[in-house]
Protein backbone atom coordinates (compact mmCIF):
# COMPACT_ATOMS: atom_id res chain seq x y z
CA UNK A 1 0.00 0.00 0.00
CA UNK A 2 2.89 2.36 0.78
CA UNK A 3 4.49 1.64 -2.57
CA UNK A 4 1.29 2.52 -4.43
CA UNK A 5 0.95 5.76 -2.45
CA UNK A 6 4.58 6.60 -3.15
CA UNK A 7 4.10 5.91 -6.86
CA UNK A 8 1.04 8.14 -7.00
CA UNK A 9 2.87 10.91 -5.11
CA UNK A 10 5.79 10.76 -7.56
CA UNK A 11 3.44 10.84 -10.55
CA UNK A 12 1.49 13.81 -9.18
CA UNK A 13 4.75 15.61 -8.31
CA UNK A 14 6.11 15.03 -11.80
CA UNK A 15 2.93 16.06 -13.58
CA UNK A 16 1.46 19.04 -11.73
CA UNK A 17 4.42 21.30 -10.95
CA UNK A 18 6.69 20.41 -13.83
CA UNK A 19 4.22 20.23 -16.69
CA UNK A 20 1.57 22.70 -15.58
CA UNK A 21 2.85 25.23 -13.06
CA UNK A 22 6.38 25.88 -14.34
CA UNK A 23 5.42 26.61 -17.97
CA UNK A 24 2.46 28.73 -16.83
CA UNK A 25 4.64 30.79 -14.50
CA UNK A 26 7.32 31.17 -17.17
CA UNK A 27 4.68 32.46 -19.57
CA UNK A 28 3.36 34.95 -16.99
CA UNK A 29 6.77 36.20 -15.86
CA UNK A 30 8.22 36.60 -19.37
CA UNK A 31 11.72 38.10 -19.33
CA UNK A 32 11.86 38.09 -15.53
CA UNK A 33 12.53 34.34 -15.69
CA UNK A 34 16.04 35.03 -16.91
CA UNK A 35 16.85 38.00 -14.67
CA UNK A 36 20.21 37.78 -12.96
CA UNK A 37 21.45 40.19 -10.27
CA UNK A 38 24.11 42.64 -11.42
CA UNK A 39 27.06 41.20 -9.47
CA UNK A 40 26.75 37.58 -10.67
CA UNK A 41 26.02 38.90 -14.18
CA UNK A 42 29.42 40.63 -14.20
CA UNK A 43 31.28 37.65 -12.71
CA UNK A 44 29.78 34.75 -14.67
CA UNK A 45 30.97 34.16 -18.24
CA UNK A 46 28.51 34.45 -21.11
CA UNK A 47 28.39 31.21 -23.04
CA UNK A 48 26.84 31.15 -26.48
CA UNK A 49 25.84 28.19 -28.59
CA UNK A 50 26.29 29.89 -31.92
CA UNK A 51 29.74 30.12 -33.48
CA UNK A 52 31.38 33.55 -33.79
CA UNK A 53 31.02 33.58 -37.58
CA UNK A 54 27.22 33.44 -37.30
CA UNK A 55 27.33 36.42 -34.92
CA UNK A 56 29.38 38.31 -37.52
CA UNK A 57 26.81 37.42 -40.17
CA UNK A 58 24.00 38.68 -37.95
CA UNK A 59 25.88 41.95 -37.39
CA UNK A 60 26.39 42.38 -41.15
CA UNK A 61 22.68 41.81 -41.67
CA UNK A 62 21.91 44.44 -39.04
CA UNK A 63 24.03 46.97 -40.87
CA UNK A 64 22.17 46.23 -44.09
CA UNK A 65 18.72 46.43 -42.51
CA UNK A 66 17.02 48.40 -39.81
CA UNK A 67 18.52 47.66 -36.36
CA UNK A 68 15.10 47.20 -34.75
CA UNK A 69 13.94 44.71 -37.35
CA UNK A 70 17.16 42.67 -37.13
CA UNK A 71 16.91 42.60 -33.32
CA UNK A 72 20.51 43.66 -32.81
CA UNK A 73 21.60 44.17 -29.19
CA UNK A 74 22.03 47.72 -27.98
CA UNK A 75 25.46 49.37 -27.93
CA UNK A 76 25.94 48.49 -24.23
CA UNK A 77 25.12 44.83 -24.82
CA UNK A 78 27.55 44.62 -27.74
CA UNK A 79 30.33 45.78 -25.45
CA UNK A 80 29.40 43.12 -22.88
CA UNK A 81 29.53 40.44 -25.60
CA UNK A 82 33.34 40.55 -25.43
CA UNK A 83 33.03 38.02 -22.60
CA UNK A 84 31.11 35.59 -24.79
CA UNK A 85 32.63 32.23 -25.46
CA UNK A 86 31.22 29.57 -27.71
CA UNK A 87 29.94 26.52 -25.90
pLDDT per position as a tens digit, 39-83: 988 898 877 777 777 777 777 777 776 555 545 555 555 555 555
Distances in Å between the Cα of 66 and the Cα atoms of 8, 26, 57, 62, 70 are 54, 30, 15, 6, 6
Mean pLDDT, rounded, for 15-39: 87
Task: Give the integer Cα–Cα distance in Å for 56 and 81.
Answer: 12
pTM reported for the whole predicted model: 0.39
Which residues, at least 6 apart from 33, have a Cβ–Cβ distance to it below 8 Å? 26
Amino acid sequence: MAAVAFGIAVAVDAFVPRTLLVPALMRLLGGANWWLPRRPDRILPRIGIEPPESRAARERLAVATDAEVADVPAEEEQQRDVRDTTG
